[in-house]
Structure 1
Amino acid sequence: MTGEPVLLSSDADGVRTLTLNRPRVKNAIDAALWSALREALVAAGNDRAVRTVVITGAGGAFCSGADISGGVSSVHPLYRMRTLSDVALLLHELPVPTIAKVTGVAVGAGWNLALGCDLVVATPESRFSQIFARRGLSLDLGGSWLLPRLVGLQQAKRLALLAETIDAEEARSMNLVTWVVSAQEVDAFVDDLGARLVAGPPVALAQNKALLNEGADRTMRDALANEARTQAVNFATADVAEAYSAFSEKRVPGFTGRWAVTHGQDEKGDSHA
């Protein structure tokens, strides 16, 4: 429908759902949708009420990749790629957990958009392809970084060089999908998953995500130093004390991420000028 937004955004109990909304072209991403995604990810990262982000597609498809229906653009590719790179980095560095809910096809940049999320939930009908080579193109939206880390170098080359289409079960067996859930159950499954993530300690989850993302490129010494640094930040929040109290009281903890260090006090509680 003319004038309908290319990206829908909705909030429910700490979960922000971003829905690619170009169903007539299986949610292929054009310039307007790339820009909308970039703005939406910036907004989600800056909104402390957002504790989890779900990315999905309208009309029974996740995303058929970048929209090439208009042919070769007159805009230099380097300029166009900047927006794609912005989206990939914003998604990768978003300080909250992200879930891709994949129904139907996830192809090319659309598949890499899903792989850029922390968790991927697909249905048995989902189909995936690194289709770039069939278009005379190479991997983008972080695919060259993500694929070898998820499946190993040899399988990454298979996917990139042959541009095969694989189904959800094969994708799951290759660690490219976290869960495969029936189409009738996928909405409820993702809702429950989002609620579980929202209930977690936000500071600790953000740091877990960053540690794991960065760990692939770090030495053990670097990783241990980062773990020590982030654990110190965790102990400065109210969530650790809340977790200990909840454990002793046999109740569910209520995590907020609230900073709990009192300014101007040392370990004994003495105030300083």
Structure 2
Amino acid sequence: MTSFLGKSVIVTGSSSGIGLATAVMFASRGANVTVCGRDAARVQSAVSACEEAERSAGHEIKVISVRGDITDRRVLKETVDTTLKSFGDRLDVVVANHGVILREGTGCLETWTEQCFHSTMTANVASVMALIQEAAPHLEKTRGNVVCVSSLGSQQALLLSTSYLMSKAALDHAVRCLALQLGPKGIRINCVNPTYVSSRVLRDINQPGEDLGSIIGRAYARETPLQGQVSGPEEQAEVILFLASDAARLVHGQCLVVDGGIGLKGLPNNYPALMA
């Protein structure tokens, strides 16, 4: 088990899902953690979960929170500044996990809107670039690293969520381009591309009375080649921590798919039997 004792970590979008699991796992392994999110109650719950994890592991760390919309440059700057102030002017790891899927972007070409496209690209790409820009001078001091959370869908054509998938494809390529710029500064950057993980990110595209997550989850469970295993947030968090660790010191500019092999056969989102 990799230790992050004494390291300082920012995890955006960490009040639920993969972000929450990642923040808790970092705390359990000795890192000081900054939790980020928009909802006050969920952010506080995430802080409590991190504190419980560090107590159970026998560590003495700090867990802080910054609440707000990370697409707001002021919130983004506050996140980095508060982390530095709280953790001894040190920043070692940034996990850019935040992202959105908007209802308006899930339909066909006829219902696509520029507003949805721009909102999605701002949240999923531009704000990540801005966060890395803000953090890079401090990561250079510690020879730290960045892990972005993308999607298996960035590499697979789907019938739904075109704007979302375009944004994740752009994020993947941003990681590759930034690797050339950040590497000479001693900063590593990589990307995790998860399979479907049950998460609140689908909350904005559920129709009334519909649980889209359960429908997709059942389809993935049927079709995943690796013994039908469906990923939870913890499986993705383990890979994120690996990429952030010294064990991955020569892994740079990579987009690592964590999907149980389902991408090899095409995603269930395109199957006619998805709704069965």
Q: Same fold (TM over 0.5)?
A: no
- Considering only CA atoms, is the larger Rg found in Structure 1 or Structure 2? 1
TM-score by length of 1: 0.25
> Could you state the TM-score of these two structures normalised by the residue count of structure 2?
0.25
Whose relative contact order is higher, 1 or 2, with alpha carbons under 8 Å and at least 6 apart?
Answer: 2
Q: Which has the higher helix share?
A: 2
